[in-house]
Amino acid sequence: MRILRPGISPWPVITAAWDRAVDLLYPLRCPACGEFETPFCDACEARLIESAAVPRCPFCSAGWEGEDNCPLCFGFDALSGVQAPFEYNRISRSLIRALKYRNALPLAPVMARHIQPILAPGSYDAVFPVPLHRSRRRERGFNQAELLLEALAIESPPDRLIRARKTRAQYGLAPTERSRNISGAFRYEGPSLLGANVALLDDVVTTGATVNECARVLRDMGASNVNAIAFARATYSAPADKSLNI
């Protein structure tokens, strides 16, 4: 049970409890507007912002209006690039959160359908879901990135890329602290990836520190390219999202 501290609003807790209760009664409803009997309604789908609709960094796809790469890119020493069909906004965030925290499993194929054009089967030598630490996976019951991969019908041998160390949530940390927090968290246990063109799949890329660290491990195993692919990509200047316990 969560204890409320004085001065902290109880509304987020009450809202979350209400959402869970409604989820039990009506498991199929749009996470953005609450419409029943659809995992995601057409009106909300139309309010997703396609990546192509806003200026982006040519390398890491963060929303960015400058001419060259965005400042985030300086921290990416292992990634070959980031791609996502949608901007991280209120609507895409509601899908990501509902899949991850409210077990809205019918959303996985909905999200995968939009990822499919940039991650068609056969376009990479290997695709790895960004792993969760085994304790978090047990707690949640699944890894949302694995669900997306399954929905895409892409085979990936399990437990090759693993999260060997539990990390703190990345929000509220300065960029250097983020890199330190995630450094050494992943391990690869599998055959050599010499010369391989590899993709990492996750639901969302925000700071990119996690996927860059995964990419470093895969590059150490010989991968020549490691692209991160996600359902949504945060804008460069987006504030840290405390609601994502990644």
Give the binding site for Zn ion (CB under 5 A): 30, 32-33, 35, 41, 44, 57, 59-60, 62, 69-70, 72-73
Instruction: Give the Cα-Cα-Cα angle 211, 173, 149 (nearest 5 degrees).
Output: 25
Min dist CB 215 to Zn ion, Å, is 14
Instruction: Report the alpha-carbon distance of residue 129 to residue 203 in Å, rounded.
Output: 9
Note whether 205 and 93 are within 8 A (CB).
no
Q: How far is CA 151 from CA 71, 87, 88, 126, 146, in A?
A: 34, 21, 21, 16, 9
Nearer to Zn ion, 35 or 125 (CB): 35
Which CB atom, from 26 or from 191, has the smaller least distance to Zn ion? 26
Comparison of 24 and 46: residue with beta carbon closer to Zn ion: 46
Q: Minimum distance between the CB of residue 171 and Zn ion, rounded to whole angstroms?
A: 19
**Token pair listed for 188:** 């690869």
Q: Judged by CB, which is closer to Zn ion: 40, or 186?
A: 40
Residue 119 or 228 having the CB closest to Zn ion: 228
Q: How far is the CB of 131 from Zn ion (least distance, A)?
A: 24
Helix (H) or strand (E) holding 92: helix 90-101
Q: Minimal distance in Å, beta carbon 134 to Zn ion?
A: 32
* 149: CB partners within 8 A, 6+ apart: 127, 129, 156, 201
Which one-letter amino acid corresponds to residue 190? G
> In the complex, what is the shortest distance from the CB of residue 111 to Zn ion, in angstroms, rounded to a whole number?
14
